[in-house]
Chains A and B, each alone.
Chain A
């Protein structure tokens, strides 16, 4: 998946799980937990949404690698 598609997939999952987050103009450096205020249930839902709709599996061991919008997009691009 290229970066553009990965971004679209991450934005779609985010607006489904946390529609309060404005994906337009979203700062890539935003941290999912601290800045976007996703709680742990939101994060699980986000991961599940990506698995179902983008075909990307984020195993628990990789949670530490997807802490920001940018790193999640990169992860999806690399693994889809």
Chain B
């Protein structure tokens, strides 16, 4: 970490430019592995060049400081140039997951007030062109693969970059200037845009060392897509700030391919997800046989709790136990981890990192934090459940939800940031994830807001009401299941089920749409009409239904 010459702080400078101007300019920064295993590499000096050109393109288009540049694109070099070029130009970058359907894409572009979108021709035609008229603020769409023939209303990014004059020195941003926007989901309402500032890079650097043990000669692979916060904080920023080599797989998850990449590229530090590890486990140990994983020295995971079997499996098949850690979009960086220096407690998320103060706050029967005399009541007995909370003040902490001050304020109680996760702490200070404190669904490491899914389902002509929950799944942690009430005149059938799921997948994309759907004559509701997802879930899983005194009894 060095800070901007003459004062200020900018993530792009810390991640690329200072390296490109120093002794490690020729060090390999990004190694892209294509479909056929073909490799394209960018050194820090190459990366600085494309970053500079992208920043210059933004300036040429008249994009101002603080304006939002979005991406909806796979893991290809242009994505990395846009992220860092935007930051260099003092813009704000917001990555979208390319498997989102048109509806989540439109909503996020609108909520984030997108000025620029970087995407591919296919994704543009499928997901953005049909809703472009509803997005008057979206001034420029830059196609990475226009190949000299941009669609109407779009520009050819390659051509613009080719013609861009040198940008010059990095825009003078300050530590508290907005740099990144990441959307996440709550139980109710629209997706929330968590605002992160340039100072976050301090945490990305520190946690890259503490929790991932990054060192200069590492070849590192973070499998998360930069459409999600992990892929941004630890797939782009942290490794570049440490000036190491990052492997980027342009393809989707495939067990054999993944073992091959680990072996052939001599990956030393690997950061992945419990879902991916469980898929590897499912693929059988033979899949790893014959692959030389001897370069690997550290394996970590994040996204949902890692079951102990996977930790043990890692030791056997990868040669290293898996170090699980915990954080979320709002924290911007790893907060709690099984550290390299400490023995792993399989199944635990680990202990708070140096500088992070975590606590468990007691909740009352309504799930509200218990306060006494203005102070939060902390759970201090070992192995007792409370809501995981953090003392604010770490550098990568979110600084707000874009345009939603009230929602941001509600995250804090008596000097604590409430995470929404329920956890317990053992006598040695290790934290153990228990469940979500709300109805948010955690699938393949991503949060899915039930409200967003329910609202979309109700746009289907046959659906009167919908309730959406997460069901435990051996691979993904949870999968989305919908319960729907039909309008009179529609009868449950397999065809209708497929039709509704297909409708949801087209609009929401496979990552968000329900994978399972049941018809029900009446959803359980409170007297005020709110759907009781907790009860749906309890009934589905045969769990005790708990306090049902507020449930409206139908018919």
Contact = CB atoms under 8 A, between A and B. Distances in A.
B164 interface: no
Interface string B282-321: 1110110000000000000000000000000000000000
A68 B254 CA distance: 14
B506 A20 contact: yes
A38 interface: yes
Given A20-B506, A63-B254, A40 B498 contact: no
Nearest to B257: A64
A40 B505 contact: no
A2 interface: no
Contact of B515 (A33, A40, A41): A41
B279 A40 contact: yes
B547 to A, nearest CB: 34
Interface string A8-34: 000000011011110000000000010
Given A19-B501, A39-B99, A63-B256, A44 B510 contact: no
A33 B74 CA distance: 12
B476 A37 contact: no
B255 A41 contact: no
A41 B444 contact: yes
A16 B502 CA distance: 9
Contacts of A38: 510
Interface residues on chain B, size class: 20 to 34
Give the dominant DSSP class at A's interface: helix
Interface residues of A, number: 19
Contact of B284 (A33, A37, A44, A60): A60
Count chain A CB atoms within 10 A of each CB in B256, B282, B503 and give the residue with the most.
Answer: B256
Contacts of B511: 39
Given A19-B501, A38-B510, A60-B256, A44 B279 contact: yes
A41 B252 contact: no
A57 interface: no
Contacts of B444: 41
Contacts of B252: 33, 39-40
Contact of A64 (B254, B286, B505, B506): B254
5 tightest A-B CB contacts, nearest first: A19-B502, A19-B498, A60-B283, A20-B505, A20-B502
Interface of B: 99, 251-257, 279, 282-284, 286-287, 444, 475-476, 479, 498-499, 501-503, 505-506, 509-511, 515
10 contacts: A37-B509, A39-B99, A39-B252, A40-B253, A40-B254, A44-B279, A60-B255, A60-B284, A61-B287, A63-B255
